[in-house]
Structure 1
Amino acid sequence: MSGEGILKQPEDCEGIMKDRWVKKVCRFFCAACAAVLLAAGCGKEKADSLSELELEQNEAEETAEEAVQQEESGTVFVYVCGAVNAPGVYELAGDARVYEAIALAGGLKDAAAGEALNQASTVTDGERIYIPTAEELEKGIVDGQTAEVTGTDNQGKININTAAKEELKTLPGIGDAKADSIISYREANGGFQTVEELMQVEGIKEGVFNKIKDRIIS
């Protein structure tokens, strides 16, 4: 019996070693699979993160491009009133001209003094465009009211040294604030020596000046 046991011992050892080897291979295989799955998961997460980042960057670039396009081709709103057929607020392209605003307002009435305005000048956002009648122009009536102090010469040009606030507001791009600034400047500095000096007034830059320079005198 003891001899048979000794003869069978190497076979038993071989079986045990084989079982251990199989278990090691299985553990190694499982570990390898887990590593592959983990790497795949991390790779997918990284890819998803990159995709989200790229999407955000693309959206930011598109938004910036749209903002630039909107700025370049922006629109303005102007109020056209006086001797036009359809007074009101109208939206125009940023580089639109006064005559285009008048056209949107139904055109000039028969009694309108269209020559009182420089219809080729560029409109500005928030501008009030008043078209007087020929009778108003003759009587020195500005914006439907008789000016107490007239600053308009016989050629229809406005004297920036004597014009009242309402007269100044008939100029393209000149509203309440700019008209007040013009009056304050001339009172503080003894008037304007030249029309170009108007650009020294706060809020009046070259763009606005170019629109009104042919309609003013000093």
Structure 2
Amino acid sequence: MAPSELRPVRRRLDAHEPEPEDAEDIEEYPDDGFDGRVRLDPGRRGMVALVGVGVAAVVLAGWFVWRDHPVSQPVPALPVVVTTSEAAEPAVAADLVVSVVGAIARPGLVTVPPGSRIADVLLAGGGALPGTDLLGLNLAQKVSDGDQIVVGAPAPPMSSAGASNAGTSGGGGSGGGDADDSTGKTLSLNDATESDLDALPGVGPVTASSIVAWRDANGPFTSVDQLGEVDGIGPARLEKLRDLVAP
């Protein structure tokens, strides 16, 4: 375009150009610290994102704190230990009650500790009377509860059947042979009287009466072992009588 053609246009632009404002009319804006920089406006979505980031940061920080916090563990209860002040005391065996009769200073019942022997029983009864023959007693034998000891007892007599046969043995030769065979060395428990039983070693009047009472209550003896059921006859005394008596 020729310069002559541009002049009319320039004149029109100059006619519409606004006049410059005076310095007094210029509005002063406060200094907000941005020094003319553009202000940041995140908008609605930006604010939501910032809030979400802040919440996530708080939650994450709380999780780290909770993880590092020591957790108290429950202490298991200690077992209850029961202690006894004293050990259980062993059972003390009861004393033995033994009957001692015959040639003894103090006949009757004596009490001796377990494991005592016939010699201890005689000592507890005051000792045997002077001149008493003690050869029939085994002083070292142990006694049991309920035993009876006869001091100075004579040898057991023959059974009544044997005595009767012995009295008639003066007959013929065959009769004499029968008497020898029938003269046994045992006393019949079913035929013996209290006197016969009292003469047995280790059997006194009380035990002899008990044997007769048992026989009356239970019927005839069928075995020597049944003497063990009689009051006053223990295992030791039963063994003494086993070879001296028969049913």
What TM-score do the two structures reach when normalised by structure 2? Answer: 0.44
Structure ID, larger Rg: 2
Question: If each structure's helix is expressed as a fraction of its own residues, which one has the higher value?
Answer: 1
What TM-score do the two structures reach when normalised by structure 1? Answer: 0.48
